[in-house]
Each structure stands twice: as structure tokens, then as C-alpha cells.
Amino acid sequence: MSRNTISRYLHVQLLIIALFVIFLPLTASADLGPKPSLHIIAENMPDGVCYLDLLVNYTLKHGRPNISDETKYEPKMLEVLKKYNVDGWRPAMVTGTEIPMFGDIICDVKDGKCTMDFTYIGIPDEFKIIVVTADGRTVVSNVVKRKAFDSTVNFDFMTGKAAERSAISSYFLQFIFTCSGTLIIEGIVLLLFRFSLKRNCKPFVAINVFTQILLTLVIFTMMYREGIMAAFLVYWPFELIILIIEACLFAKFLQQHSKVRRVLFALTANIVSFAVGIALMMNPALW
């Protein structure tokens, strides 16, 4: 068997493995898109058990509560949240959302601080924060209008003020994380396709940075102008555009080997990096 035949065989095997990795999660979940997230940092919190929820201002026509096992919650505190409805503002986790959101309402307060995480498409673009304490006290924040796909909001229990951190800094950190991860994963695939990293370092890095900047700008623009759903819907077709752009650029600028192998590398690298991203999103404990 010739060296070229062996090389082609290995590439086909790698592509099959990559396809298997990406389509395997479909058996467990039919919705594998990018998931918006909301990270809340609460400060000056009282000692003891506290419940924190998001208030939304729309009438629920369809949907259900986002917490399932009510037995783990203190009944009186939970009832306070269930009954809260001021000027149409109601708790999203306890009373439900049109589209599901994941998270919990129990604050694990340590030294006056706690962090809360909410994920999935049901996260509202506009909300208030409500905290219920063990002694029956209720604190409600000002309205927060999200501008970042992955938001971080600071909340001060004593003043009731909540503010989203700069969307620009959020997207910059998101870009650094995703771009670095992409370079590492696709760099490994580049080596597996027997490309010299030394000879191809500049075009490889430049193309990946360019496409990651494009993706970040598109998501940022849609999130800022239209909200979560628009950013979510744009993500999928734009990922396909990114794949086509990278295939064309790698075919033109990578050195060594045929254009067919360069395109095959681009396809495989994108599939593998996408599969790893899906695995991370489906297993938050990994990060």
C-alpha cells in the first residue's frame, strides 16, 4: 500500500470520526445551537437562605415553570415568588417562560456574595432581579436590558441596583476564549493532516482570527439591535458561511499538499472544533 493511499485512508477515517462525534449528541438532544447565558454576581447578600429569580414583563400564554421539583424549596419563600406580580412583572423561573430557560433560584451565599447562572433561549432581553430572604424580605432591582449574548450582571442587594457589565468586554473575552480554543483544536487537526505548522503558521492563524472576528461582530450586532432570538437564528447560517470562507482561504493560502487536502482539512477542522464546542455546552461542569 502506497504512502498516498495510507494518507488518504487516515484522512477519511478522521473525517468519519469527526462526523460521528458531532452527530452522536443528536440522539440525546435535537437542539444543539449556541446557548445564551446570564451570569449574575450578587453582593452584600444577607446570611442564610435566599432565593433569586428574574422578573419578566409579559403574559404567559404557553409554557410552564422552569423549576420542576418544588419539594426542595422552602414553601413560604417559594409562595412569595409565586404570588409576586407588580405592574405585570413576574418571576421567570417560578411562574414560567414562553421558551425554557435553565438555572435555579437558590443562592449559595458565602461572605455576602453569591453567583447565579441562567442559560438557554428563554433568558429575557429585559428583566429585573428579585431576591426573597428567609425572613420574608423582598428586594427588586431596576430594569436590566441585556446587550451581550453571554451577559454578566452585577447586583447589589443593599441598594437594589443591577447593571450589566460592558458588552464590549464580554464579547472581547468571548472572542479570546473561542479563538484560542479554535486555534488549539484546529492546529492539532492541521498536524494530523501532515501540514507543517512552521510553514503554515501565519495563514492558519490569520484566517482563524479573521473568521472569529467576523462571527463575533455578527453576533454582537444582532444581539445589540434585535436581541437573543435574532442572534441565535443568525448564528447557524453564518457558521456555514464561515466554513465556506475558511475552505476557500485555506485552499489558497496553505502551503504543501493538494487543494483537495486543504479543503478536506478545513471541513474536518471545523467539524471537530464545532463538536468540541457542543460537548462543552452540553456539559457545563467541564468548564
What is the CATH classification number for the domain harbouring 134?
2.60.40
DSSP 64: B
| Beta-carbon-side half-sphere exposure of residue 158 (alpha carbons within 13 Å) | 5
DSSP 149: S
Q: Which of 105, 93, 116 is nearest to 42 (CA)?
A: 116
Q: Name the domain boundary from 165, 193, 228.
A: 165
Confidence tier at 24 by pLDDT (50, 70, 90): very low
276 and 233 share a domain?
yes
> Which of 78, 85, 89 has its CA nearest to residue 52?
78
Compute φ and ψ for 262, nearest 5 degrees.
-65, -45
Same domain, 44 and 160: yes
**Do 85 and 190 belong to one domain?**
no
Q: Could you report the per-residue pLDDT of 229-255, keeping only the tens digit for each? A: 677 778 778 888 888 999 999 999 999
More confident residue, 282 or 106: 106
| Last residue of one domain, picked from the residues 165, 184, 209 | 165
The reported pLDDT for the residue numbered 218 is: 84
Q: How far apart are CA 52 and CA 81, in angstroms?
A: 9
The residue from 131, 165, 199 where one domain ends is 165
Q: Which three cell numbers stand for residue 191?
A: 498536524
Establish how many alpha carbons lie within 13 A of residue 114's alpha carbon, considering only the half-sphere containing its beta carbon: 19
Residues 145 and 232 in one domain: no
* Interaxial angle between packed helices 167-192 and 3-23, expressed in degrees from 0 to 180 and rounded to the nearest 10: 140
Residue 118, CA distances (Å) to 35, 53, 100, 101, 249 in order: 10, 10, 11, 7, 38
Higher pLDDT, 35 or 259: 259
Across the range 133-148, mean pLDDT stands at: 92
Residue 285 has pLDDT above 70, yes or no: no
The answer on pLDDT for 34 being more than 60 is: no
Both 121 and 196 in one domain: the answer is no
Is the pLDDT reported for residue 116 higher than 90? yes
The domain in which residue 103 lies consists of 37-165
Q: Is this prediction's pTM over 0.85?
A: no
Task: Specify the number of domains making up the chain.
Answer: 2
Calculate mean pLDDT across residues 74-95: 95
76, with CB counted inside 10 A (0-12, 13-18, 19+), is: exposed
User: Do 63 and 135 belong to one domain?
Assistant: yes
127 & 14 share domain: no
Instruction: Summarize the confidence of residues 1-21 as an average pLDDT.
Output: 51
User: Computed from CA positions of residues 272, 277, 283, 287, in that sequence, does the dihedral angle turn out positive or negative?
Assistant: positive
Q: Which pLDDT belongs to residue 81?
A: 95
Under 8 Å between Cβ of 175 and 220? no
If we measure between CA atoms, which residue out of 159, 142, 156 comes closest to residue 43?
A: 156
Distance from C-alpha of 88 to C-alpha of 66, rounded to nearest angstrom: 18
Query: In this structure, are 233 and 249 located in the same domain?
Result: yes
Rounded-to-integer distance, Cα 287 and Cα 120, Å? 17
